[in-house]
Amino acid sequence: MFKRNISFTEAIREAVFQSIKKDKKLFLMGEGVDDPSSMWGTIKGVKKKFGKSKTIEMPVSENGMIGVAIGSAINGSKVLVNLQRVEFALYAFEQIINNAAKTSYISRGKHSVPIVIRMVIGRGWGQGPEHGQSLENIFSAIPGLKVVIPAFPEEAKSMLIASIFDPNPVIFLEHRWSHFTRGKVDKKFKIKKLKSFNKITSGSKLTLIANSVNVLECLRVSKLLKKYNIDIDLFNLCMPNPLDLTEIIRSVKKTKHVITIDLSHIRLGMGSEIISTILENRINLKSPPIRLGLPFHPVPSSRGLVKNFYPTGQDILYSIQKSLKIPKVKFSQILKEYNLKSEKLPIDVPDPYFKGPF
């Protein structure tokens, strides 16, 4: 296994290039699919390398575009659709929910819809209310869709490949800040099975569940706490739909403490489903579950207003303290070390730690 340190962007691009090579039925579709930005470089050069038949430039017509993707796919094409922001998909909810999600069900499996809809979640630099939503909980409330959210470059590559070769419609959510992360990525092309969770760190004290950029913050926290003998079972909820909670149930049975972090709003977020399921499973927690995530209002633009909006490492630490009742003295030491290590950077750009390498 040959692993190199590459960026998330490069990992996505490698997945795309290798998938095109593997399966000539695959092509790309989107607004600006071969423009100089090419989804922030993630699909740069596809046309140059594979010819113009592999990229279809689309008019700014999202609902029609998704319909076209579905119609091509039920015939045997594999289609990778590229949307620069999750919000643009709102125009296409009709096609996504009525047709992409239900075609297999209604046709009794005779038709499949092997499309992947890449959507980027905006954050920072004043994205604001209509360029900063994630909506993963909404897509996860629709049976028939798969929803994939990679956090690390390695996941980005392997999960994009798995999504492309999955016969079902996949909503593939990339956080804009994830694009900057770096990490070791296997050079090989491999189709792995998609699973709901990737375990990031192991521990016995507390189960921590997050995804996308929040996992990076959790990882930092988990590593720090390890030094203080607080070992954490950290899970990346990288496929919230379909949701298989077996591993989480097992973990919480062991730790008896659980914290979830939603990428979107806490309200009706993945955390609510996870925690309800845990409770239905008769697990006696030692302290109440805690949900973190976004408060229930639109994303404001100004950096002054996003203070207290996104969960931070500190928020996570405080929640862990609350759950585990870490002694005050010890906790203030932890907090001190955390604050020392995290640079004081503007709130609206990714923390350098986020770049990895992971």
Q: Which stretch binds other proteins (CB under 8 A): 125-133, 196-204, 225-233, 318-326?
A: 125-133
Q: Give the one residue of 23, 231, 247, 348 binding other proteins; rule: CB under 8 A.
A: 348
Determine, following the binding rule CB under 6 A, whether residue 60 of this chain makes contact with ligand TPP.
yes
Determine, following the binding rule CB under 8 A, whether residue 271 of this chain makes contact with a copy of itself.
yes
Strand partners, 172: 118, 148
Determine, following the binding rule CB under 8 A, whether residue 88 of this chain makes contact with other proteins.
yes
Determine, following the binding rule CB under 6 A, whether residue 233 of this chain makes contact with ligand TPP.
no
- Name the minimum Å distance from CB 148 to other proteins: 13
Determine, following the binding rule CB under 8 A, whether residue 296 of this chain makes contact with a copy of itself.
yes
Q: Which stretch binds ligand TPP (CB under 6 A): 17-25, 83-91, 148-156, 227-235?
A: 83-91
- Name the minimum Å distance from CB 203 to a copy of itself: 22
Q: Which stretch binds a copy of itself (CB under 8 A): 15-23, 74-82, 214-222, 276-284?
A: 276-284
Asked whether 140 and 243 are in contact (CB, 8 A), the reply is yes
| CB nearer to ligand TPP: pick between 84 and 104 | 84
Determine, following the binding rule CB under 8 A, whether residue 45 of this chain makes contact with other proteins.
no
Residues 128-167 vs other proteins: string with x where CB under 8 A?
Answer: xxxx-----------xx-x--------------------x
Q: Which stretch binds a copy of itself (CB under 8 A): 200-208, 286-294, 305-313, 335-343?
A: 286-294
Q: Describe the crossing of helices 328-341 and 213-227 by its angle, rounded to 10 degrees.
A: 130
Asked whether 161 and 19 are in contact (CB, 8 A), the reply is yes
| CB nearer to a copy of itself: pick between 112 and 342 | 112
- Name the minimum Å distance from CB 326 to a copy of itself: 18
Determine, following the binding rule CB under 8 A, whether residue 309 of this chain makes contact with other proteins.
yes
Burial tier of 132 (Cβ tally within 10 Å: 0-12, 13-18, 19+):
buried
Q: Give the one residue of 5, 21, 37, 188 binding other proteins; rule: CB under 8 A.
A: 37
Determine, following the binding rule CB under 6 A, whether residue 34 of this chain makes contact with ligand TPP.
no
Asked whether 250 and 201 are in contact (CB, 8 A), the reply is no
Determine, following the binding rule CB under 6 A, whether residue 62 of this chain makes contact with ligand TPP.
yes
As a whole number of Å, the CA-based R_g of the chain is 20
Q: Give the one residue of 141, 283, 305, 335 binding other proteins; rule: CB under 8 A.
A: 305
Q: What is the 3-state secondary structure (H, E, C) of the chain?
A: CCEEEEEHHHHHHHHHHHHHHHCCCEEEEECCCCCCCCCCCCCCCHHHHHCHHHEEECCCCHHHHHHHHHHHHCCCCEEEEEECCHHHHHHHHHHHHHHHCCHHHHCCCCCCCCEEEEEEECCCCCCCCCCCCCCHHHHHCCCCCEEECCCCHHHHHHHHHHHHCCCCCEEEEEEHHHHHCEEEEECCCCCCCCCCEEEEECCCCEEEEECCHHHHHHHHHHHHHHHCCCCEEEEEECCCECCCCHHHHHHHHHHCCEEEEEEEECCCCHHHHHHHHHHHCCCCCCCCCEEEEECCCCCCCCCCCCCCCCCCHHHHHHHHHHHHCCCHHHHHHHHHHHHHHCCCCCCCCCCHHHHCCC
Determine, following the binding rule CB under 6 A, whether residue 189 of this chain makes contact with ligand TPP.
no
Residues 214-253 vs a copy of itself: string with x where CB under 8 A?
Answer: -----------------------------x----------
Q: Which stretch binds other proteins (CB under 8 A): 6-14, 75-83, 133-141, 312-320?
A: 75-83
Cα–Cα distance for residue pair 154/6, rounded to 1 Å: 9
For ligand TPP, the binding residues (CB under 6 A) are 31, 60, 62, 84, 88, 91
For a copy of itself, the binding residues (CB under 8 A) are 63, 87, 90-91, 93-94, 97-98, 101-102, 105-106, 129-130, 137-138, 140-141, 143-144, 243, 264-265, 267-268, 270-273, 275-276, 279-282, 285, 288-291, 296-298
